[in-house]
Structure 1
Amino acid sequence: MALKTAMALAAGLTLLAGCASRYTPTPLAANFPTTKQAKLQAAYHWGVVTDSIEKRVVMELRKSPPRPVFINEPKDPSAFQRALATQLTTSLVNDGYVVSRTPAGSLKIDLDVQAVTFSANRPQYRYHGERAVLGSGVWLLSEIEAPVVANVAVAVGALDAHDWFNAQFAPGDTPKTEIIVTVSVSDQYRYLARNTSAYYVADSDRILYGIVDPKPEEPKLTRTFQVRGDI
């Protein structure tokens, strides 16, 4: 009887341990569903971003009577902001829009770029494993980080399965640097369109996005001692 009581008590405690409290002083931290965010690593990628922005701007401009547009560049643009404004001007002109050199009588396009820095060593989630050739057209993918090593042999012809799985991911750790790009189309009274998107950027390219890291302090070569008492 005592054994059955102990087993029932243990089962009850296990059940309680697996349940979250119904009441907490703060919301429980939870992960978002898995998503992907592009990492900018070349000037060509800046052009891809600009093309995406231009398509969204044109879509909104078509909803109103045709008017010239003026791209409002910041006074001290970063390399990325300058390229963004230049490439957007080119795309709009090539699509037949009048891009004015002065704001008078034009719709204004503002390009706001906010660079943010998160903590270093952020986690990187991707496929894991090492590759090995078993034979012609047969690869072995070995999961080496799991507690139990799982090996899967895949017949893929001439396709490199390991590269196929991992090519979609940017190399290296998750960057600590991200940029938030907001595009606004407005006149003097209202916003006609507004869109925001976010991208990773390589930490080594931070200066291209207007982030200037402080120089490390140089070590002091002298030290002052205070002497007390008679000499």
Structure 2
Amino acid sequence: MAIALTGCAYQATPLKVMPPVAMQQPAAPDPHWDGLAEKVARHVQAGLAVAPDQPVTVRAENSSPFSRALLSMLKTHLLALGVPVSEGHALMEVRLETQVLPYHGKTAAYPRNGSGEGVKDGTEVLVNTSLTQGGRYLSRTSDLYYIEGADAALYLPAAPVYGKTIQVVGP
């Protein structure tokens, strides 16, 4: 008598959850930030058509975790595209400006849940990228992204630290 045993294998792999269908692209930490940096780098590269071999200095206007990460990833993408990046002063400058825009209880114009209804809670972040040479704008882009309220602190500048340094003199 032969008994055949069959077993069920259980694999603890989490299911992939797709983001909600939206007209406005969300900006979530990690993969979205890198995609945004790549998009900005391509805009900068297109703006450099007038002087493709000129090195650029890249700086951010605020010190939020988002701005610091975007600045770092942007430098990486610019270098990957063959754009020379300078740590010192260069004639061409790429400047990132970010601004957090809360809804203040009003309904946003961008449907986020696929129902066609606007979102009542949440925050947006405005990302402006400017390419300048000698104080003259060569290109500028402005992108607006929806962010979850829980992630808003990642987009805010670090709070200033106030203190006083006291010199201690020994005997």
Task: Kindly indicate whether the alpha-carbon contact (under 8 Å) linking 2:60 and 2:97 is maintained by their aligned counterparts in 1.
Answer: no
- Using the TM superposition, give the Cα deviation of residue 99 of structure 1 relative to its aligned residue in structure 2, in angstroms: 0.6
| In structure 2, distance between residues paired with 1:91 and 1:211 | 23
Task: Flag the structure with more relative contact order, 1 or 2, with Cα contacts below 8 A and sequence separation at least 6.
Answer: 2
| In structure 2, distance between residues paired with 1:91 and 1:192 | 19
1:69 matched to 2:56 = yes
After TM superposition, what 4+ stretches of structure 1 lie above 4 angstroms from structure 2?
Answer: 123-128
State the match for 2:79 in structure 1. Answer: 93
For residues 14-29 of structure 1, the aligned pairs below 5 Å read none
Task: Kindly indicate whether the alpha-carbon contact (under 8 Å) linking 2:26 and 2:146 is maintained by their aligned counterparts in 1.
Answer: yes
Task: Kindly indicate whether the alpha-carbon contact (under 8 Å) linking 1:122 and 1:176 is maintained by their aligned counterparts in 2.
Answer: no
Q: The residue matched to 1:96 in structure 2 has which SS?
A: coil
Letter aligned with residue 132 of structure 2: S
* Count, aligned residues: 135
Change (3 A) 1:127 1:79: closer
| In structure 2, distance between residues paired with 1:57 and 1:40 | 20
TM-score scaled by length of structure 1: 0.52
Q: 1:83 aligns with which of 69, 91, 94?
A: 69
Q: The residue matched to 1:40 in structure 2 has which SS?
A: coil
Task: Kindly indicate whether the alpha-carbon contact (under 8 Å) linking 1:175 and 1:200 is maintained by their aligned counterparts in 2.
Answer: no
Letter aligned with residue 177 of structure 1: T
Change (3 A) 1:174 1:199: farther
Q: The residue matched to 1:42 in structure 2 has which SS?
A: coil
Identity across matched positions, percent: 26
Two-structure CA RMSD over aligned residues (Å): 2.7
Change (3 A) 1:180 1:209: same
Change (3 A) 1:72 1:180: same
Q: 1:37 aligns with which of 14, 17, 24?
A: 24
| In structure 2, distance between residues paired with 1:179 and 1:107 | 25
Give structure 2 stretches of 5+ with no counterpart: 1-21, 159-171
1:122 matched to 2:107 = yes
Structure number with larger C-alpha Rg: 1
The C-alpha deviation readout for 1:69-128, integer Å capped at 9, x for no partner, is 000233x5101101110000001111222110112x331110000111112373674555
Q: The residue matched to 2:23 in structure 1 has which SS?
A: coil
| In structure 1, distance between residues paired with 2:147 and 2:69 | 15
Q: The residue matched to 1:48 in structure 2 has which SS?
A: helix
Q: The residue matched to 2:50 in structure 1 has which SS?
A: coil
Give structure 1 stretches of 5+ with no counterpart: 1-34, 129-172, 213-231
Task: Kindly indicate whether the alpha-carbon contact (under 8 Å) linking 1:115 and 1:211 is maintained by their aligned counterparts in 2.
Answer: no
Task: Kindly indicate whether the alpha-carbon contact (under 8 Å) linking 2:60 and 2:96 is maintained by their aligned counterparts in 1.
Answer: yes
